[in-house]
């Protein structure tokens, strides 16, 4: 089950569509979904988590805590709305498109995809683009 939680004032208009889209991506990657919690927060909140849990003193758009048991996906996924908004402006894309990219990015990490090397980043971007193309909502 995918749940959306809000530390920052923000809410989806189409949460059911987004949840169904993410669930379909999980199934297509041959995983099963358990408890997946998206927590939408601000930069300050996510920076605090980044420092405390990952010892990184940098801003980021997403932190994914992986609690998977084999092919059963369970996670807390924290997303900074501030970072997503700034990145949408930086890359000249709609906020919703950038947010969806970050959301599927977290799911892909939980499905085993990495993004440390150039090759991994390329594959991750291809997968993101593929799943973004499958959205039936905008």
Is 105 annotated to bind a ligand? Reply is yes
What length does the chain have?
138
**pTM confidence score:** 0.94
What is the Cα–Cα distance from 118 to 137, expressed in whole angstroms? 31
Average pLDDT over residues 55-74: 94
Name the residue among 138, 134, 136, 123 with its Cα closest to residue 25.
Answer: 134
d(C-alpha 131, C-alpha 74), whole Å: 20
CATH number corresponding to 2-133 = 3.40.390.30
56 is in an annotated binding site: no
Q: For residues 28 and 91, what is the distance between their CA atoms, to the nearest angstrom?
A: 28
Q: Which three-class secondary structure state does DSSP give residue 71?
A: coil
Q: Is 53 annotated as a binding residue?
A: no
Confidence of residue 54 (pLDDT cuts 50, 70, 90): confident
């Amino acid at each position: 089950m995918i749940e959306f939680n809000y530390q920052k004032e923000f809410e989806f208009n189409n949460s059911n569509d987004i949840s169904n889209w993410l669930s379909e991506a999980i199934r297509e990657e041959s995983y099963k979904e358990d408890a997946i919690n998206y927590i939408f927060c601000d930069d300050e909140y996510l920076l605090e988590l980044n420092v405390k849990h990952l010892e990184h003193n940098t801003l980021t758009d997403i932190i994914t805590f992986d609690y998977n048991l084999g092919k059963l996906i369970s996670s807390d996924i924290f997303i900074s709305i501030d970072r997503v908004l700034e990145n949408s402006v930086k890359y000249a894309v709609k906020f919703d498109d950038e947010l969806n990219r970050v959301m599927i990015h977290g799911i892909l990490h939980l499905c085993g995809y990495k993004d440390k090397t150039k090759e991994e980043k390329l594959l991750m971007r291809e997968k993101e683009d593929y799943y973004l193309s499958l959205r039936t909502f905008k």
